[in-house]
Amino acid sequence: EPEVTQTPSHQVTQMGQEVILRCVPISNHLYFYWYRQILGQKVEFLVSFYNNEISEKSEIFDDQFSVERPDGSNFTLKIRSTKLEDSAMYFCASRLADLTDTQYFGPGTRLTVL
Amino acid sequence: LAKTTQPISMDSYEGQEVNITCSHNNIATNDYITWYQQFPSQGPRFIIQGYKTKVTNEVASLFIPADRKSSTLSLPRVSLSDTAVYYCLGGGRRSNSGYALNFGKGTSLLVTP
Mean pLDDT over A28-44 rounds to: 93
pLDDT at B95: 46
Among A4-18, A61-75, A88-102, B21-35, name the most confident range: A4-18
Q: Which one is predicted more confidently, B52 or A65?
A: A65
Residues A28, A14 contacting (CB under 8 angstroms): no
Mutate to test the interface with B, among A47, A103, A109 (most CBs of B within 10 A): A103
- Cβ distance B98 to A93 less than 8 Å, yes or no, reads no
Whether residue A103 and residue B93 make contact (CB cut-off 8 A), yes or no, is: no
Beta-carbon contacts of A59 under 8 Å, excluding residues fewer than 6 positions away, are none
What whole-number distance in Å separates Cα of residue A105 and Cα of residue A89?
A: 12
Instruction: Report residues of chain B scoring pLDDT below 70.
Output: 1-2, 91-98
CA triple B44-B71-B91, angle to 5 deg: 55
What values do phi and psi take at B88, rounded to 5? -105, 130
State yes or no: pLDDT of A1 exceeds 80. no
Q: What is the mean pLDDT of residues A30-34?
A: 93
Across the strands, what pairs with A92? Answer: A34
Contact indicator for A20, A78 with CB cutoff of 8 Å: yes
User: What is the pLDDT at residue A100?
Assistant: 67
Select from B43, B95, B97 the Cβ nearest to the Cβ of A108: B43
φ and ψ of A46, to 5 deg: -110, -55
